[in-house]
Structure 1
Amino acid sequence: MISKPPDRSRYRLWPPSTGVLAGLGVTGLVLAGVAGAFAYTVGLLSPGALTQTRIVDRFQAVNGIHPGFRRNHAKGVCVTGTFAGNGAGARLSRAAVFGSGAVPVVGRFAVGIGKPFLPDTGAEVRSLALSFRPASGGEWRTGMNDIPVFPVNTADGFYGLLAASAADPATGKPDPAQMTAFLGTHPETARALGLIKARPVSSGFADARYNGLNAFRFVDSSGASTPVRWSMVALDPFVAQVPPSGAAREPNYLFDGLVARLQQGPLRYRLVITVGQPGDPTNDATLPWPAGREEIDAGTLTLDHVEAEGPGNCRDINYDPLVLPDGIATSNDPLLSARSAAYSVSFTRRAGEPKTPSEVQVPARPPATPGVPATGG
């Protein structure tokens, strides 16, 4: 049995201060990003064989060690705001977050790379992690990504994917033959990668749809349990990303665009709960649920402040997917315990390391002009 390191991330300041695979082209960037989605935080792997420590070690081998940073999704910014439930989610879940009233939220936008100083390319997977903190207690943490499915359905498969996409020391590039061999024995990954690469990619963070890739269960006041997945759907109109033509992009253009957008006013997203039906897979994150499943608009997330990562804000939060309130329960998806334990290892390592300033710096908000209401965050 693998022992899970203590989650020291549960003890932190609140409120926050206000102040891999080069050479594979687009496929490589997609793989790097979905790998980052997994290494958000691994537990019940193969006893005696694969451990959460080995998973995190593999990320370090692929990306190098960057002290103080997450082992993946290393490049990001912090946001804060509120979530206002509309009561619709209470039909399925007794969690306080779905009641009436505003719930404080601490979040993080990031890209799925393990090297915090790489320039933005637009091909990375984008992520949104959130910590909901109702006044009555019952914190909920979740990490979502702008992809429709995850590329593997077991921790062993994930470790194999990392190995297949690792750079050959002799060439500095991944060996296409290794990836071909891996996909030949993992048809679920080949199928999932096809869905991931076919997805429409938004122009930035503000207009994306962020999906929780694992199934969970909502538990209502009577104890009845319902399988669900969830998404945060932007209220900003979707704009497709346009490939660069000629002039080079700024190295942090995705994050600069987010900051500029928040200076115009708050960002808003709808929390959409997808309700599973009997037979829908809850233990396989590579499989989408059938179209036409019931969707519940459970409330609105409003983000109105952005800042660079620093002491006491989202930098020091472990967005462990198993930090769940009463009313939200884990499913039989084996990746959930795996993610949770790996996140814990990653958090413990970076918590004890010196902190390097983030590559993404947020300009100080200009003082408001007298008589003119301030906007944005």
Structure 2
Amino acid sequence: MIRVPTGGATPASIVDTLKAMAGASPKARARFAKGRCVRGTYIPSDRAEEITKSRSFTGASRVVARFAVDGNSRMPDTDNPVLRGFSFRLGDVDHRSDILTQSAPVHYARTLAQMLAYLKVRVPTPDGRPDPDKFEAFSTANPETLHQASYMAAHPLPASFADTTYWAVHSFPATNGRDETQFIKFKIVPVGNRAAPTEDVAETKPGAFLHDDLQSRIAARDIRFSLMAVLGRPGDPILDVTTRWPDEDQRETVRLGTIVITAIEANEVCDALAFDPAALAEGIGYPPDEIFAARRAAYATSLAQRR
């Protein structure tokens, strides 16, 4: 049985192992290397102030965002299921918030040590594949690390970034103008009809079809998402990002605003600004889980290596 190590797990070791898994160069992104930078606007709803006093969410602003596919830059979009990412920046220089979301509502590890062990059993051997015995032993000993993959297997992704629902897997403390604080989860919901699942069209699509589709959609019209706050309750598992809140899909939600993507942006813009999970304007606090704390440090490490 493979047990989760108690030492040796650091944000730097996580970044190094991610790059070893993907066969990526030191200057590549550790995750979601294949992406497309876009820009647009954010329009707050009249209910945003009920949830947070953060001016990133209560005021209109420009948006810089990035759609991406997890893995290395050579991975074809037809690989399914592959996690998708949507990172975006709201607000201005004094009230900036960067939110990182993905196409599954849970993470694959609860702690930093478990995350490192999860990644290590997936590092390819010389024949190009992970060791199946190590993989099976680890999964048996750590069943919660399969929750993300199980969700993705049960929920085929649509054949478009624009029709995908995204989640920030962490529980964020949100404080409104009355100094009332509650935990929320961010959920990004596409406005409009969904495309067919990827598995129905992948055989007939080129390897970059997600990026081609995004470019053609934006050329024809804007793309809209509702930025939702899923409201927490006392007793929710705010420290375990491998587990969803009870009845999460039936929870009360508040639409904080609408993200409108209007144009393709040069990828160098997103590379230069680097979405930072630590950038949260007053009114949205840091999630208390261990993975978020590690992510803040890991993104800084990865950015330093890329530069």
TM-score, normalised on structure 2?
Answer: 0.92
Match of 1:365 in 2: none
Query: Superposition pairs for residues 148-187 of structure 1, below 5 Å?
Result: 148-169=105-126, 171-187=127-143
Contact 1:320 1:339 in 2 (8 A): no
Contact 2:106 2:244 in 1 (8 A): yes
Report Cα offsets for 1:94-120 as digits up to 9, x if no partner. 1012324x211110010001x213322
The answer to whether residue 53 in structure 2 is matched with residue 56 in structure 1 is no
Match of 1:133 in 2: 91
Contact 1:122 1:254 in 2 (8 A): no
The answer to whether residue 280 in structure 2 is matched with residue 324 in structure 1 is yes
Match of 2:44 in 1: 85
Distance 1:245 1:281, change over 3 A: closer
Unmatched runs of 5 consecutive residues or more in structure 1: 1-45, 352-377
Report Cα offsets for 1:261-298 as digits up to 9, x if no partner. 11110000001100000011111111111222210011
Match of 1:144 in 2: 101
Report Cα offsets for 1:17-74 as digits up to 9, x if no partner. xxxxxxxxxxxxxxxxxxxxxxxxxxxxx99622222111112222223354312211
Query: Superposition pairs for residues 1-377 of structure 1, below 5 Å?
Result: 49-66=8-25, 68-100=27-59, 102-113=60-71, 115-123=72-80, 124-134=82-92, 137-169=94-126, 171-243=127-199, 249-291=205-247, 292-310=250-268, 313-351=269-307
RMSD: 2.0
Q: CA deviation at 1:246?
A: 9.3
Q: Distance in 2 between matches of 1:70 and 1:63?
A: 10
Distance 1:235 1:163, change over 3 A: same
Residue identity in the other structure for 1:94: K
DSSP-derived class of the 2:293 partner? helix
User: Greater helix share, 1 or 2?
Assistant: 2
Q: CA deviation at 1:244?
A: 6.1
* Identical columns (%): 29
Q: Distance in 1 between matches of 2:177 and 2:97?
A: 18
DSSP-derived class of the 1:256 partner? helix
Q: Distance in 1 between matches of 2:204 and 2:261?
A: 30
Number of residue equivalences: 300
Residue identity in the other structure for 1:74: A
Q: Distance in 1 between matches of 2:281 and 2:266?
A: 28
Q: Distance in 2 between matches of 1:153 and 1:346?
A: 21
Unmatched runs of 5 consecutive residues or more in structure 2: none
Residue identity in the other structure for 2:76: P
TM-score, normalised on structure 1?
Answer: 0.75
